[in-house]
Amino acid sequence: MYLTIQTYCNSLAKQFHSIASDRKKLLSSVSDFIKQQKAQNKPVQLVYICTHNSRRSHFGQVWAATAAAYYGISDIYTFSGGTEATAFNQNAIQALKKAGFEIYSDGQEKNPVYQVCYGEEECTTCFSKVYHHPANPKDNFLAIMTCGEAEANCPFIPGATGRIATTYEDPKLYDGTTQQEAVYDERCRQIALETLYVFSLVK
């Protein structure tokens, strides 16, 4: 794992006390799913879902892969999807870069495929897609809803073993404002903090 990412995670791992108790209870449901799958020697598949699969769901996918590596938890597979495909948002990408990730694009114009790396040979593949895209698992996965719109518009996720709504405010609301960069950094940090907490309960 890159030193910058390790340092970022080390700092957040000391701040779990800042998460509200009711939020911790919700997040522990994700931990319970992971532990149940591990106890049955099954792979852990987590699919983070938001409407456009451009910001919060990608933060979830990236930080879940990173948190698993940080705590040394194997057989964790993270994905993301939306109710429609757009593109991985550039502001979200910049927030991840500031956190220490190395990000590489395949150069496609409309919806590039990115390798988001948290170590020399530790990467996750990110691009915008619908949640039932062939790149995502078809069954035996936990659907984690990261935005209220997707939670409301997807009353049923075929193949999901479980479904949990850990919704976050959309940083898109601040696009083009003086607060844009700070809000994206904060949303990245918030999702990182809560995802690290989830995996800290599994280790």
pLDDT for the residue 150: 61
**CATH number, domain at 121?**
3.40.50.2300
Domain span including residue 50 = 3-10+22-200
Tell me whether residue 156 is in a domain.
yes
Tell me whether residue 137 is in a domain.
yes
pLDDT digits (tens, 9 = 90+) for 107-129: 999 999 999 999 999 999 999 99
Tell me whether residue 177 is in a domain.
yes
What pTM was estimated for this model as a whole?
0.95
Q: How many domains does the chain have?
A: 1
pLDDT for the residue 158: 86
Tell me whether residue 93 is in a domain.
yes
Mean pLDDT for back-to-back runs of 10 residues, the chain (203 residues): 97 98 97 96 96 95 98 97 95 98 95 97 96 95 86 75 93 96 98 98 91
Tell me whether residue 16 is in a domain.
no
Buried b (16+ CB within 10 A) or exposed e, 172-184: bebeeeeebeebb
- Cα angle value 34/37/42 (rounded, 5°): 130
Tell me whether residue 185 is in a domain.
yes
Torsion over CA: 201, 20, 168, 111 (sign): negative
Tell me whether residue 17 is in a domain.
no
CB atoms closer than 10 angstroms to residue 167: 16
Tell me whether residue 15 is in a domain.
no
